[in-house]
Amino acid sequence: MNFVVPNFAPAYAELFVAAMGVVILLVAVFLKQSARPFAYLASLATLLGAAFITWYTMDGQVSYTFGNMYIDDLMGDVLKLMVYFAMAVTLLYSRGYLTDRKMDRPEYFVLATFATLGMMVMISANHLLTVYVGLEMLSLSLYALVAFDRDSARSTEAAMKYFVLGALASGLLLYGMSMVYGATGSLELSGIAQAIYHQAGNRTVLLFGLVFLMAGIAFKLGVVPFHMWVPDVYHGAPTAVTLLISTAPKLAAFAMTMRLLVNGLFELADQWQAMLMFLAIGSIVLGNIAAVAQSNIKRMLAYSGISHMGFMLLGLLSGVVDGDSRLALNAYGSAMFYAVVYVLMSLAAFGMVILLSRAGFEAENIDDFKGLNKRSPWFAAMMMFVMFSMAGVPFFVGFFAKLAVLQAAVAAGYVWLAVLAVMMSLIGAFYYLRVVKVMYFDDPLDASPISASADLKLVLSANGLAIAVFGLMPSQLIESCVAALAGSF
């Protein structure tokens, strides 16, 4: 049997990140304490190098490698660039927080690097096994990061919950994959699509497999009814880890959803759209109502994230109407736009929590934001931008993200669903505006000036301003998402 050397070019960025992860790990083993600044800088350099490779090799063409198990297309390249950006900002925000708590060990950056690699593999997977390998690489890294504060019982408990529920979800996903393979005779997504198109295989087994696949997807997105891990993990994990979990992995989960459902199971759109509808309704309703009762801002943002993922699903379920896929590109583009915007807003929200935290104090409660305008009018304005954008107040970028998915739902004939989403957004506005109220109208519990590194303040300011600027010019970002999908499908 002749061995055919695969084309490594589409995976240059992944190979580079994998190599750098091993280098950082080995340096950490031999240099120990002195490896701390090296690990941080090397992680940022890895993300920068991967971004350069991805950008340099981006040609708008769809190419396959490793026996069609891996795909390189425009959607994947754009999402990878967003992942690099989100991870770089996450590491920058987290550095001071970790140093204050003696957690800036090289292992944190090694795990973050391999989590990035897992996300990249998920984004470019064209095979069920590749999807699973990327998912597990990401998940195992996140389990360890949640428990990174070994002296915290709360972090250990959150990690155990996340691990047990994550293992269950991975088992459901793997079982669904095995059923899809049994029904179609293929693990390759394009092969699965062809088998379903030609009505090959047992349709009953295929539909059962789809149900289990949806369970795994719902867990990774953190949507109802597989949301139970989200508030506990967000609350229990160190804030730097919560920031990581709430941002870049959402982009990888969106890509996994697109690969599995649109690339592989598009002919079953009527079935999975109905499932997504129930997931979206449950997430939007439960997320917004449960968030109202929260006094801890990390739990509030967790339930808020559940609601936001429900909104993103509105775009995914609006692409096909009565077998007609003409609306698909705009609908999926609106979902991708929503995912990118949510990551941008979540970075700023948890960045503000980290900004107000210090050694021995976690700014986890909404009351910790009291009187922020008197302590720092500038960062109070940045937090106000974030809250207004998450609430969907014009003219911030979050408003246009909600508008895009609602327009997709209305165009698909789901007017009642759009009305329900708007009503739930009105409820959601309460808990976002409550944060603004305590910042501007309450007296501060702590009048001390905010102390943070200059780079944290600079990037956080840019993050907040980006939310306002993209709100004034949203069309460029929306068009980029639609163009990325148009060049991939």
Residue 104 is given by DSSP the state -
pLDDT score of 157: 92
Element (H, E) at 72: strand 70-72
Element (H, E) at 487: none
Q: Tens digit of pLDDT for each residue in 195-219?
A: 888 887 778 899 999 999 999 999 9
Per-residue tokens: 475: 């069309």
pLDDT score of 413: 86
What is the C-alpha separation between 285 and 289, in angstroms, rounded? 6
pLDDT score of 49: 95
Per-residue tokens: 454: 């200059």
Q: Tens digit of pLDDT for each residue in 217-266?
A: 999 999 988 888 999 999 999 999 999 999 999 999 999 999 999 988 98
Contact between residue 284 and residue 338 where contact means Cβ atoms under 8 Å apart:
no
25-47 mean pLDDT? 84
437-452 mean pLDDT? 82
Q: Is the pLDDT of residue 60 over 80?
A: no
Q: Tens digit of pLDDT for each residue in 73-130?
A: 899 999 999 999 999 999 999 988 888 888 888 889 999 999 999 999 999 999 999 9
Q: Is the pLDDT of residue 370 over 80?
A: yes
Q: Tens digit of pLDDT for each residue in 135-145?
A: 999 999 999 99
Q: Tens digit of pLDDT for each residue in 372-411?
A: 888 888 999 999 999 999 999 988 999 999 999 999 999 9
pLDDT score of 132: 94
Element (H, E) at 103: none
| β partners of residue 296 | 365
* Mean pLDDT, the chain, integer: 90
Contact between residue 209 and residue 180 where contact means Cβ atoms under 8 Å apart:
yes
Predicted TM-score (pTM) of this structure: 0.95
pLDDT tier, 66 (very low <50, low <70, confident <90, very high otherwise): confident
What is the C-alpha separation between 26 and 345, in angstroms, rounded? 35
Residue 32 is given by DSSP the state G
Residue 370 is given by DSSP the state T
The number of residues in the chain equals 489
Give the whole-number percent of the chain exceeding pLDDT 70. Answer: 97
Buried b (16+ CB within 10 A) or exposed e, 350-368: bbbbbbbbbeeebbbbbeb
| Low-confidence winner among 13-17, 25-29, 203-207, 359-363 (lowest mean pLDDT) | 359-363
pLDDT score of 2: 63
| β partners of residue 321 | 324
| Low-confidence winner among 55-69, 278-292, 384-398 (lowest mean pLDDT) | 55-69
pLDDT tier, 438 (very low <50, low <70, confident <90, very high otherwise): very high
Q: Calculate the alpha carbon distances from 61 to 51, 58, 69, 407 in Å.
A: 18, 8, 17, 30
Q: Which residues make Cβ contacts (< 8 Å) with residue 453, sequence separation at least 6?
A: 95, 96
- CA nearest to 248, candidates 339, 129, 326, 146: 339
| β partners of residue 365 | 296
